[in-house]
Amino acid sequence: MIRAIRGATTVSDNDEREIIDETKRLLTEMIQQNDVKAEDVVSVLISMTDDLNATFPAKALRHLDGWTYVPVMCMREINVPHALPKCIRVMMTVHTNRTQQDMHHVYLRDAIQLRPDLKLTKKSDI
């Protein structure tokens, strides 16, 4: 079965290192929380708000061992007035046997406000 895992985070500045580091942190948390293996990933879509353009956030995925061949694409988020600034969003599509309710979506930093109903739950808390 194919399912999608959502994630989002924010950065403080339009800085290459911070964008890559925070994206890597988000991806790593999504992978760990959902026991994702690179070979089970269909694709990863990463969007950023208009105020971020210092780098491609997909570079973060290339820093993960074994993820070289995973298709990844970066794009712009819709520029909606009063939307959360400096936000990076991820949609990871994976093959899994989990139900939709068993997927762990990850929202970090200021992005928690996007989906407070899906707050990060560590496996140790389950």
| pLDDT tens profile 88-102 | 999 999 999 998 888
The helix/strand/coil state of 54 is: coil
Give the span between the Cα atoms of 57 and 46, in whole angstroms. Answer: 7
Architecture of the domain made up of 2-116:
2-Layer Sandwich (3.30)
Q: Which H or E run includes 107?
A: strand 106-107
- Cα-only R_g, the chain: 14
Active site amino acids: 6, 62, 74, 77, 89, 107, 115
pLDDT, tens digit only, all 126 positions of the chain: 999 999 999 999 999 999 999 999 999 999 999 999 999 999 999 999 999 999 999 999 988 989 999 999 999 999 999 989 999 999 999 999 998 888 999 999 888 877 767 655 444 443
Contact 99, 7 (CB under 8 A): no
**Beta strands 72-76 and 41-48: pairing type?**
parallel
Amino acid at residue number 100: Q
* Feature table: binding site: 6, 89, 107
Contact 37, 70 (CB under 8 A): no
pLDDT of residue 110: 82
Query: For the sheet containing 106-107, what is the strand order?
Result: 72-76, 41-48, 87-95, 2-10, 106-107
Domain locations in the chain as residue ranges: 2-116
* Feature table: binding site for prephenate: 6, 89, 107
With a CB cutoff of 8 Å and minimum separation 6, the contacts of 69 are 38
Amino acid at residue number 67: W
